[in-house]
């Protein structure tokens, strides 16, 4: 079972994503503390990070760059998400593996998660 770290500060969206992905068989660790992301990735040996661009005043791109600059987490896939216009390019430049705009269709989101997990297990 794939382990996914979801770093999302929108309480309802976080719970909805967690519930839907758990229903699909994934093990979800939900965090609202971006400052704990590296620790959470390492301690839980996650397979994928779902990262909001804006989390409690923190820029998720900074968190993504820390993931990429930490040896133990550098190769973990990161799917970033945001409703901000033009954020796709910014997130990809920060090291995100892929990006999805909010609001998103849940089926499209699930397909993207599955695709990223398949790419990393090949």
Residue-wise pLDDT for 55-75, tens only, equals: 988 999 999 999 999 999 999
| pLDDT above 80: residue 95 | yes
- Asked if pLDDT for residue 92 goes beyond 90, the answer is yes
> What mean pLDDT comes out for the span 3-13?
94
| 121 — pLDDT class (breaks 50, 70, 90) | low
pLDDT confidence band for 40 (50 / 70 / 90): very high
The answer to the question of residue 118 being in a domain is no
- What is the total count of domains within the chain? 1
Considering the domain boundaries, does residue 122 fall inside one? no
For residues 12-29, give the mean pLDDT: 96
Task: For residue 82, give its domain range.
Answer: 3-113
- Looking up residue 37, the CATH number of its domain turns out to be 3.40.50.2300
Residue 30 lies in a domain: yes
**Has residue 119 been placed in a domain?**
no
Please, which pLDDT band fits residue 122 given cuts at 50, 70 and 90? low
Output b/e per residue, 88-113; b: 16+ Cβ within 10 A: bebbeebbbbbbbeeeeeeeebbebb
How buried is residue 117: exposed, middle or buried, by Cβ count under 10 Å (0-12/13-18/19+)? Answer: middle
pTM across the whole model = 0.96
Mean pLDDT calculated for residue range 18-27: 96
Is residue 44 in some structural domain?
yes
Mean pLDDT taken over the chain: 95
Q: Which percentage of the chain shows pLDDT scores above 90? A: 91
């Amino acid at each position: 079972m794939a382990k996914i770290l979801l770093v999302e500060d929108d309480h309802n969206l976080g719970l909805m994503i967690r519930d839907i992905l758990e229903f699909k068989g994934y093990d979800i660790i939900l965090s609202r503390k971006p400052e704990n992301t590296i620790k959470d990735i390492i301690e839980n040996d996650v397979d994928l990070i779902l990262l909001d661009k804006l989390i409690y005043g923190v820029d998720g791109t900074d968190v993504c760059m820390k993931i990429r600059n930490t040896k133990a987490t550098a190769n973990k896939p990161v799917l970033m998400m945001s409703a901000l216009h033009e954020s796709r390019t910014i997130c990809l430049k920060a090291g995100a593996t892929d990006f999805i705009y909010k609001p998103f269709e849940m089926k499209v989101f699930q397909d993207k998660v599955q695709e990223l997990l398949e790419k990393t297990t090949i």
